[in-house]
Amino acid sequence: MDQLLIRTHNGLIQGYVQNGVRTWKAIPYAEPPVEERRFRKPLPARPWAGVRSGDMTVPLAPQRVNPTGGAFRLKRDQIPQSEDCLYVNVWAPDEPAPQPLPVMVWIHGGAFVTGGGGLPIYDGSELARRGGLIVVSLSYRLGPLGFTHFSPFSGQSEDGYVSNAGLLDQIEALRWVKHNIAAFGGDPQQVTVFGESAGSMSIAALLAMPAARGLFTRAIMQSGASQAISDSHGKLLTKGLLGILGIQENQLERLQEVPAEEILRAADELKQAAGASAVMLFQPVVDGKLLPVTPLEAVAAGSAAGIEIIIGTNRDEGALFIPEDMPMLTKEQNARAYTAVTGSKEAASWIEAYPATVEGQRQAMTELFFWRSALQFAEAQLPHAAVWMYRYDYAMVPGDPLLGTAFHSAEIPFVFNNLDLLAGAGMPVNEEMRSVAERMQEAWTSFAKRGQPSTPSLPWPAYDAEERWTMVFGADSAVTRDPDADKRRMLTGGSDRRTT
């Protein structure tokens, strides 16, 4: 068998060489979640006959697409969308290694409503080639199709409508990796999951879910930590969605007949009704079974014992969400929003410390939503495994309203070292940017290979409750002791000792 023809448990797939690495795209890991499978748990993909081509495009899960292409100007409105979206992509070095290689599995972000594992910005070629390891990306169900809390309304059926379907998809994809990645040259005992935003929040949930135990050994969490809504909140949202669709709670079978576009429209209407200060409507829900408690509670209790993590945020996360011309929320709206997303009654007083300006509100979102949750998660995991903390500070285009900040998602093309893609979209790329990308990529792959991100060119000590070493990635990356210590104490309750 040649090096591009791989036998998986489901059948043969023919790969190809792209950018100096072997590539296999659009490999099904689960049955299509369509018709009677919609809103149900994923089932393993069925075997296929003959040889499947590995050069197909992975469709996006049904979603709303930004026609401008977003911060990186990478338009995705020409990529097909389909509920049949449960696929993985695999990249491997051009030459097979004598020993099984570590594996990195990417879980994409997008607020649980947009994105896809097949987007070009997530191409794993450079990561696999320079890192000398296997890279996998996965897609999962999104929005109302992936994160509606149906299990309370589904009775006792073993194959009824579920909650957290998108997380169950991710678990099924990781099971596929465990059972198949050896055929591609990967080591199923050395799997690192990494993700950004909702992808990182998904990893937080996976670390708390009993069904995900044993499927990965390390985790890298970029700009996202513990995020989940309560059972009661999830039920209210589900009832609201069903009401808009005109479906009774005892008639869930009618959901099979509703076009996906109509379900998306109902979700849009539900969000509009929720108001300007509403948090993400579709996200993991604490259902008491699949996700027994919040990820933060579970990790603090040892659910992820032995799993080393890298966790961090970007210096200017809020810049992506709060443009220069955005109307400011009222004081009351801000207080309600941050109380909801932080789960702390103190948020109403915290927000008072930030000026009612665009820059002030950007900083509030960065620190209250992203940085605080990362700090809490790191503290919760410290008694159970090694933790490394980072902050991404690099600004690509100084002076630009957005690209001159370290905005939410800005680190992604550096982690994947896909700067040529940005250059092709008309963005300036220079040697300093390439150097930052190399340092980040070296740290990420070192962690996947050896369980710690220190490299000869960039020493990175672990985070602890005394020194709180934090790697700051920038033009001159360096480790810093306890950055913004006073603000950290305010946001995490003033403790300077390890939490248990």
Query: Catalytic residue at 373?
Result: no
To the query of whether residue 477 is one of the catalytic residues in this protein, the response is: no
> Of these residues, 149, 384, 408, 411, which one is catalytic?
408
| In contact, 381 and 226? CB cutoff 8 Å | no
CA 171, CA 499: separation in Å to the nearest integer? 29
- Catalytic residue, chosen from 197, 202, 223, 303, is 197
Question: Which among 126, 196, 317, 367 is annotated as catalytic?
Answer: 317
126 is catalytic: no
**Residues marked as catalytic:** 197, 317, 408
